[in-house]
Amino acid sequence: MKYLVIASLIALAISGPTVTFKNASPALKDSDLVAPQEMIDLINQSQDSWTASADWVGQMTIGDAKSYASASGEPRSFPEKDWGALLDSVTPPSSFDSRQQWPNCIHPILNQEQCGSCWAFGATEALSDRLCIASKGSINVVLSPQYLLECDKENFACNGGIADLAWLWMKDHGVPTYSCVPYLGQDSTCPTACSNGSQLQVYKASSVNTYSGPSSMQAAILAGGPIEVTFQVYQDFMTYSGGIYKHTTGNFLGNHCVKVVGWGTQNGTNYWVVANSWGTSWGIQGFFNIAFGQCGIDSQAVAGTPLV
C-alpha cells in the first residue's frame, strides 16, 4: 500500500500536476476534468474507507460538476428543534434504515440531471417519504421538484437554492405530485394546472424545524422519516462508488442538498446513509454512506411534519 502511494506520487510528479490536492491553491479552470484518472487511482490507493470509480463521472469537467453542487444551507428560516430532556433519555440504535423501517414509503432515487436543483429534490423527496409515513401509507406520492423550481422565486431554479426556503414554500403553498408536474430539468413558468390539464392538488408541510448534530438528526429521522441536509461537495465526491465517504482529495466545488435516510456503524466509524439525486448509476444505486461530521453533513438539516 505504502509503495503504491509513493509510486503514484512519483508518477504524478513525472506526468505533471493534473491532480489538485486538498488545500492546493484553487487554480482550477472550469474546463479541467473534475476527476482525472490520477485522482481516482490516488483515492483508491491512499485509503480503505471508500472506493472511487470513473464510471459515472467520466470526462465531466469542473464547470459541469459545479452545476451538480449549487445549493446553500444558509440562512436558516426555521428554529432549531429543541428536544429538551428527550434527547438525553433516548439512546438511538447503532444503525437505522428508513428503507427497512418503512419499506413502501421511501421513494425511488431521482435524477436532477445537469440542473442545480438539488435544493428542490432534497425537500420534495423528504416530504414525499414523510407524507407516506405519517399517513401510514395512505398518501403515497412522489412530489414535484419541478414545481418548486418554477414557482419558488426566492430560490434560483437551476442555478441553486436554499434548503430552508424550499421548505418555507412547501409550508406556505404546498407542492403537487411529480406526475402532475413532471421534471424538465430547466426553468419554465409556474403552472396553474397539471401538465395534462387536470386540477393542481397540493401537499403541504407544517411545523418545520432545523436540526444540527447527530443526536438531533437521528431523533428527527426516528420520529418522522428522512430529512434534507446540505453539505460541501469536493471533487473526489463525484467519483464515489461505495464504502464510507471521507473527503480525501480535490477542491471544493459547491454545496449540495440530499436526503438522509438512516445511519450505521462499521469498525468504529459512524456514518449516514444518504439518498443522492444523481440517478441510480451514481454511488451505490444512487445512495452513499458518509462518515459523521464529514463536509458539514450533520450541521444543516431541515424537515417538517406533513399536513395529512
Ligand X SMILES: *[C@@H]1O[C@H](CO)[C@@H](O)[C@H](O)[C@H]1NC(C)=O
> Length of the chain in residues, anyone?
308
Of the ranges 3-11, 112-120, 172-180, 272-280, which one interacts with ligand X (CB under 6 A)? 172-180
Measuring CA to CA, which residue among 164, 276, 170 is closest to residue 210? 164
- Kindly tell me which residue out of 19, 28, 35, 40 binds ligand X, with binding defined by CB under 6 A: 40
Rounded distance, CA 18 to CA 39, Å? 8
Helix (H) / strand (E) containing 124: helix 118-134
Using CB under 6 A, which of the segments 110-118, 177-185, 270-278, 284-292 binds ligand X?
A: 177-185
Of residues 121 and 178, the one with the C-beta less far from ligand X? 178
What is the distance between the alpha carbons of residues 301 and 76, in angstroms, rounded to a whole number?
A: 10
Q: Which of 247, 126, 147 has the alpha carbon at shortest distance from 193?
A: 147
Per-residue binder mask for ligand X (CB under 6 A), 259-288, x = binder: -------xx---------------------
Angstrom distances, CA of residue 199 to CA of 192, 193, 194, 274: 8, 5, 6, 34
Please tell me whether residue 196 binds ligand X under the rule CB under 6 A: yes
Q: Which stretch binds ligand X (CB under 6 A): 173-181, 183-191, 222-230, 256-264?
A: 173-181
Give the pairing type, strands 50-52 and 240-245.
Answer: antiparallel
Rounded to a whole number of angstroms, the minimum distance from the CB of residue 71 to ligand X is 27
Give the residue, chosen from 15, 159, 198, 281, that forms a contact with ligand X under the rule CB under 6 A. 198
The reply to whether 4 sits near ligand X by the rule CB under 6 A is no
* Among 44, 105, 107, 118, the one annotated catalytic: 118
276 catalytically annotated? yes
Rounded Cα gap, residues 118 and 278, in angstroms = 9
| Annotation marks residue 256 as catalytic | yes
In angstroms, what is the minimal distance from the CB of 225 to ligand X? 23
Residue of 128, 144, 155, 177 interacting with ligand X (CB under 6 A): 177
**H helices, E strands: number in the chain:** 9, 11
**Which of 180, 209, 256, 295 is flagged as catalytic?**
256
Minimum CB separation from ligand X for residue 51, in Å?
4
Residues between 108 and 167 with contacts to ligand X, criterion CB under 6 A = none
173 is catalytic: no
Cell of 212: 444540527
Is the CA virtual torsion 291, 293, 296, 297 positive or negative? positive
Q: Is the backbone peptide bond immediately before 145 cis, with ω within 30 degrees of 0? A: no
Determine the Cα angle at 297 with ends 94 and 155, to 5°: 135
Q: Does 44 bind ligand X (CB under 6 A)?
A: yes
Closer Cβ to ligand X, 188 or 265, answer by number = 265
Which residues on adjacent β-strands are paired with residue 233? Answer: 254
Active site residues: 118, 256, 276
Contact residues: ligand X, CB under 6 A:
40-41, 44, 48, 51-54, 177, 179-180, 194, 196, 198, 266-267
